[in-house]
Amino acid sequence: MAEHPKAVWAMSLVSFVESSFFPLPPDLMLIPMVLAKRAKAFVYASYATISSVLGGILGYAIGYFLFDLVGQPVLDFYGYGDKFSSFSSQYNEWGAWIVLMAGITPFPYKVITIASGVTGLAFPVFLIASIVARAIRFFAVSALLYWFGPQIRSFIERYFGLVTIAFFILLFGGFALIKLIA
């Protein structure tokens, strides 16, 4: 499928639906497409980014519009309505970082898009963090493949997620250390 004339549209569709409900990541198509046509690496990354952010908006809408109908009655039934309010305020306090981290790492981005809608995270914050995160993710993968070719593929598939998670641990650890020292 990576060399099919409609491959860009198929990858775009996968990127879109992965951000709101589909379980397979767009990297499954992006990686072979870039390897097949390395000169188009950044074009493919652009399509993946735009489609993923648009799918993220759908995920946000699912959380925002369906929570009152489905989620809130379940929380109230189990007596967690008040606790959810506390969770929402904490989530929204760190929302930009949460969206950024989930958009780059292998954590399922769809969970965060829906949670952002459910908690009412400010839409501009969600949108900007999503654009930045998804662009970093897809452009980093595409750039590595563009510059290093097929030999970097196994590294990306095995370690890209771990490297990004380690980066965020170091980043937050650094902030915590500065807060302790200051």
Pair of tokens at residue 137: 């993710």
Judge whether residue 137 has pLDDT over 80: yes
Examine residue 131 and state whether it is found in any structural domain, yes or no. Answer: yes
d(CA 21, CA 110): 6
When divided into structural domains, the chain yields a total of 1
Examine residue 139 and state whether it is found in any structural domain, yes or no. Answer: yes
The parent domain of residue 139 ranges over 7-181
Q: State which H helix or E strand residue 121 sits in.
A: none
Examine residue 2 and state whether it is found in any structural domain, yes or no. Answer: no
**What is the tens place of the pLDDT at every residue in 18-46?**
988 887 888 888 988 998 899 999 999 99
**Alpha-carbon torsion 136, 139, 142, 145, what sign?**
negative
**What is the tens place of the pLDDT at every residue in 152-165?**
767 766 766 676 66
As a dihedral over the C-alpha atoms of residue 18, residue 6, residue 147, residue 142, rounded to 10 degrees, the angle is -20
Examine residue 11 and state whether it is found in any structural domain, yes or no. Answer: yes
**What is the tens place of the pLDDT at every residue in 51-86?**
999 999 999 999 999 988 877 786 777 777 777 878
Q: Are 41 and 146 in contact (CB under 8 A)?
A: yes
d(CA 115, CA 95): 10
Examine residue 65 and state whether it is found in any structural domain, yes or no. Answer: yes
Examine residue 1 and state whether it is found in any structural domain, yes or no. Answer: no
- Among 117, 110, 124, smallest CA distance to 70 is for 117
Examine residue 105 and state whether it is found in any structural domain, yes or no. Answer: yes
Q: Give me the amino acid identity at 26.
A: P
Q: Are 54 and 87 in contact (CB under 8 A)?
A: no
